[in-house]
Structure 1
Amino acid sequence: MKTKAVRLYGKKDLRIEEFELPPITEDEVLAKVVTDSLCMSSYKAANQATDHKRVPDDIAESPIIIGHEFAGEIVEVGANWTDKFKPGQKFSIQPAIYYEDGPVGVLSAPGYSYQHIGGDATYVIIPKDVLVQDCLLAYDGPGFYPASLAEPLSCVIGAMHANYHTKAGSYVHDMEIVDGGKMAILAGVGPMGLAAINYALRREDRKPSLLVVTDIDQERLDRAASLYTVEFAKSRGIDLRYVNTSTMGDAVEDLRELTGGDGYNDVFVFAPVPQVIEQGDAILGFDGCLNFFAGPSNTDFSAKMNFYNVHYAYTHIVGTSGGNTYDMKEALEIMTKGLDPAGLVTHIGGLNVVPEATLDLPNISGGKKLIYPHVEMPLTAIVDFKVLGRENTVYANLAKLCDKHNGLWNVEAEAYLIANFAGLK
């Protein structure tokens, strides 16, 4: 089976290549990748290359395939796994396949560490490492892109599960956000912040009574408010506020005032900016927990924190990097029940754009960039479909399908693109 893939050879050295995959073993699965979502983690891996903890040292001779937020369809199943997987089955991948191997463990992951599996490819071989860790996950929902976005959604699910609180007189940690508590999502209208808002609004087991989402970009705040409305939040018993902190006289004082002066039980920081972290620390209430979600590239990155409050007000800080398999399963389950992650997606493209787009990802505005590896298409903003449609009927029809869904990417548009791509210009 031939595959076409984007492979990493060294720092900023990404190449689109076609090559032959070996026959699968009895402990492997051959799969077709239908969609992959570009992630800042791939940008970091491409820039750091062998300096990255998950990237092998020998990629110059044995390049790896990048991309880890992907979904597709099983083509062939090795003999040892035919009781669990079948050809034609839709799947998603949990790339964080950490497993014990001595005192340190192994950090290998699809999209960082393997020659024959990664999301930016047409066909891949899913290795035994993934299968034995139960990280190949069946997906029964509509389309493919939701399953591709299950991985980023699992990251925010894991973050909320990782927060913790205590009770007076006890040092036992109560894991999770406070049910009925006050939550703030700072710098919260980027792709991952939108995923966190979506999840917080649709959880059945617990939810905040107050959810404050901040940013300094009014246009992005307005888009978030149009996707995840105050009215919908109210129907879920949540008081949702979108706040532009750049217009506040004293952001800390004004944000605390929204809680009646008590401060927040749970604060999530979605930007690696010291001032935002310090703002988050300052608005914590008693026994409040700050989750530093945004991973910095700078190994010397730091910010101030009030340690008087750590000691006397029992404030906590945690950091999470990725969700686990249980979080992925929860993401897939909640999507089959109606959570649509389409609000994260702002751009669509083919495999041909992956090297350039990955290396330039921090400079490309908007949310998630969704890649269809079997499609040749420029990286195109969904909002530009209508204009491009004046000269191309495929774009025109994609625009109509997105207009039917509040301007968002959707299963109908995905199916139409796959059936009619024919090398979009």
Structure 2
Amino acid sequence: MKTKAVRLYGKNDLRLEEFELPQIKEDEILAKVVCDSICMSSYKASHEADIHKRVPRDIAQNPVIIGHEFAGEIVEVGAKWKEKFTPGAKFSIQPALNYEKGPVGVLSAPGYSYRYIGGDATYVVIPNEVMEQGCLLNYTGKGFYPGALSEPLSCVIGAMHANYHITPGSYVHQMEIAEGGCMAILAGVGPMGLAAINYAIHRKDRKPRLIVVTDIDQSRLDRAASLYSPEEAAKNGIELKYVNTGAMADPTAELKALTGGKGYNDVFVFAPVVPVVEQADAILAFDGCLNFFAGPAKTDFKAPFNFYNVHYAYTHVVGTSGGNTADMIEALEMMSAGLDPAGLVTHVGGLNAVIDTTLNLPNIPGGKKLIYTHIEMPLTPIVNFGKLGEKNPVYAELDKICARHKGLWNTEAEEYLLAHAAQLA
């Protein structure tokens, strides 16, 4: 079967090509990709290329398919997996395999390391190690884009599970955010911050009593508040505040004041910016846990940390990079039960838009860029559908559909787009 895919050959060298997939082996699965969400990690991989830890060194001769946040349908199942997987079933993939025999060892991942599997493709061959590691996951919810966004949601799920607290005099770490505690999400209204807010206010098993979300862009804060409102959080027993620290005379003092002066049990840093890290450290409560979520591009990134408080106030820091398979299963289960990650998505496009979008991702404002791999469509902000609809009825209808869903992408819009994309040309 032929596939069309975006492949990485070297630094900033991405190519959209059509080529033949090999016949699947008895331990492999052929699958149709429906959509992929472009991640900043793909930007980093495309710029670093063969020096990236997940990318093989021989990509100039054996290019890899990019994209690791994807969902689709199983087409054909090799004999080894026929008892577990069925053609026509919807799937998502946990890309972090931790598989020691992969193309680049323990860091091998679809979307970085493989010639025949990645999210920015029409069809892919899922290798045996994905199934062996339990990383091919069933998705039973509506539509496809929630399955694609389960990977980024799993990253924030993993971050919250990775936080820990202690009891003085005991050496046992109590994993998880503090029940009934105070949480701060700093620089938290980008795509991943929105995912963290969505998860934190809707999970059932553990809740903070206060969540404070900060940024210095009021328009972004206002959008976040319209998506995940304080009123919605209150229904789940959580006080949610959106705060513009750029408008504060003394952000540290004013943020701590929101906790009654005690500080925050759990602080998540969503931007690799030194002043944000310093602020996070300064607002920690006794036994406060700072989670450095944002992945810096610079290998020598450093920020001061108050070690007096480490010694006497038991403050500590953790870092997470991605979620594990259990986190992704949790994400899929929550979305199958109705959790909608649509608030992350601000742009929609076709496979033809992948290269420019990936290479220029930091310069494109907004949230997640969602790609439907079987269509041609320029990367288009959802807010522009109405204007474009003056000349094209498909955009006009998409605008109407999204307007019925608070201006957000949704499964109805997805279904309409996939049925009428040919009329966009």
Task: Supply the AA of the counterpart residue of 1:7.
Answer: R
Paired residues, number = 424
3-state SS of 2:56 partner? coil
Does the 8 A contact of 2:9 with 2:59 survive in 1? yes
State yes or no: 1:141 paired with 2:146.
Answer: no
Residue identity matched to 2:85: F
The equivalent residue for 1:369 is 369
Aligned to 1:74: 74
Counterpart for residue 271 of structure 1: 271
Q: Which residue of structure 2 aligns with residue 381 of structure 1?
A: 381
Partner of 2:99: 99
- Structure 2 distance, partners of 1:287, 1:100, is 36
Aligned pairs for 1:237-276 within 5 A: 237-276=237-276
8 Å Cα contact 1:37-1:67 kept in structure 2: yes
Using the TM superposition, give the Cα deviation of residue 106 of structure 1 relative to its aligned residue in structure 2, in angstroms.
1.4
The answer (yes or no) to whether the contact 2:264–2:285 under 8 Å persists in 1 is yes
Q: Whole-Å Cα distance in 2 between the matches of residues 265 and 316 of structure 1?
A: 10
Q: Deviations over 1:93-134 (max 9, x none)?
A: 0000013469x9611000000000000000000001111000
> In 2, are the aligned partners of 1:290 and 1:316 still within 8 Å (CA)?
yes
SS at match of 1:106: helix
Name the amino acid aligned to 2:137.
Answer: L
Matched, 1:23 2:11: no
SS in 2 for 1:422: helix
Per the normalisation by structure 2, the TM-score is 0.99
Off by >6 Å, runs of 4+ in structure 1: none
In the alignment, the residues of structure 1 paired with residue 181 and residue 109 of structure 2 have an alpha-carbon distance, to the nearest angstrom, of: 36
Q: Does 1:173 align with 2:170?
A: no
1:342 counterpart letter in structure 2: A
| Structure 1 contact 378–424 (Cα < 8 Å) conserved | no
Contact 1:377 1:423 in 2 (8 A): no
Q: Distance in 1 between matches of 2:223 and 2:122?
A: 33
Q: Which runs of 5+ in 2 are unaligned?
A: none
> How far apart, CA to CA, are the structure 2 residues paired with 1:317 and 1:240?
24
Q: Which amino acid aligns with 2:327?
A: D
1:58-73 matched pairs, under 5 angstroms = 58-73=58-73
- SS of equivalent to 1:161: helix
Return closer, same or farther for 1:105/1:64 CA change in 2, 3 Å cut-off: closer
Tell me the equivalent position of 2:45: 45
Shift of residue 424, structure 1, vs aligned partner: 2.2
- The letter for the 2-side match of 1:186 is L
Per the TM alignment, residue 316 of structure 1 is displaced from its structure 2 partner at its CA by: 0.7
Mark the CA change 1:323 to 1:286 in structure 2 (over 3 Å): closer, same or farther.
same
Amino acid at match of 1:221: L
| 1:349 counterpart = 2:352 | no
SS in 1 for 2:106: coil
User: Over residues 287-306 of structure 1, what are the superposed CA-to-partner deviations in whole Å (9 max), with x where a residue is unaligned?
Assistant: 00000000001001100000
Q: Note the alpha carbon deviations across 1:308-342, whole angstroms, 9 max, x for none.
A: 10111000100000000000000000111111000
Distance 2:242 2:81 in 1: 48
SS of structure 2 residue aligned to 1:414: helix
The alpha carbon displacement at 1:307 in A equals 0.5
Q: Which residue number corresponds to residue 224 of structure 2?
A: 224
What is the letter of the counterpart of residue 50 of structure 2?
Answer: T
Q: Deviations over 1:373-422 (max 9, x none)?
A: 00100000000001100110000000011001000000000000001101
SS at match of 1:68: coil
Residue type at the aligned position of 1:354 = V
Q: Partners of 2:171 and 2:211 in 1: how far apart? A: 27
Find the counterpart in structure 2 of residue 321 from structure 1: 321
The alignment partner of 2:5 has SS state of: strand
Verify: 1:186 aligned to 2:186, yes or no. yes
User: What corresponds to 1:291 in structure 2?
Assistant: 291
Match of 1:202 in 2: 202
Q: In 2, Cα distance between the equivalents of 1:258 and 1:384?
A: 38
- Say if 1:31 and 1:123, in contact at 8 Å, map to a contact too: yes
Instruction: Tell me what 1:157 maps to.
Output: 157
- Asked if the contact 2:267–2:290 (Cα under 8 Å) also holds between the matched residues in 1, the reply is yes
Please state whether the residue corresponding to 1:197 is helix, strand or coil.
helix
On the 8 A contact 1:375/1:423 being kept in 2, the answer is no
* CA distance, structure 2, for counterparts of residue 47 and residue 87 of structure 1: 36
Cα displacement (A) at 1:197: 0.1
Report the secondary structure of 1:117's partner residue. Answer: coil
RMSD across aligned positions (CA):
1.1
Structure 1: distance between partners of 2:13 and 2:423: 25
Residue segments in structure 1 that go unaligned for 5+ positions in a row: none
How far the C-alpha of 1:168 sits from its partner, in A, is 1.8
| Deviation at residue 33 of structure 1 after TM alignment | 0.2
Shift of 1:171: 1.1
* Contact 2:31 2:75 (8 Å CA) reproduced: yes
Partner Cα separation in structure 1 for residue 238 and residue 117 of structure 2? 41
Q: In the aligned structure 2, how far is the partner of 1:294 from the partner of 1:424?
A: 37
Look up the SS of the partner of 2:185 in the other structure.
strand
Q: Give, in whole Å, the separation in 1 of the partners of 2:406 and 2:419.
A: 22
Question: Which residue of 2 is the match for residue 214 of structure 1?
Answer: 214
CA distance in 2, matches of 1:139, 1:107: 25
Match of 1:413 in 2: 413
Amino acid at match of 1:348: V
Q: 1:234 maps to which residue?
A: 234
Distance 2:278 2:173 in 1: 24
Contact 2:394-2:423 at 8 Å conserved across structures: no
1:3 aligns to what? Answer: 3
Conserved in 1, the CA contact under 8 Å of 2:188 and 2:214?
Answer: yes
Question: Would the aligned equivalents of 1:180 and 1:208 in 2 still touch at CA under 8 Å?
Answer: yes
Q: 1:265-285 CA deviation, whole Å, 9 max, x = no partner?
A: 000000000000000000000
The 1:56/1:101 distance shift into structure 2, 3 A limit, reads closer
- C-alpha separation between the residues in 2 aligned to 1:49 and 1:60? 10
Quote the Cα distance in structure 2 between the aligned partners of 1:288 and 1:392.
53
Structure 2 residue identity aligned to 1:131: M
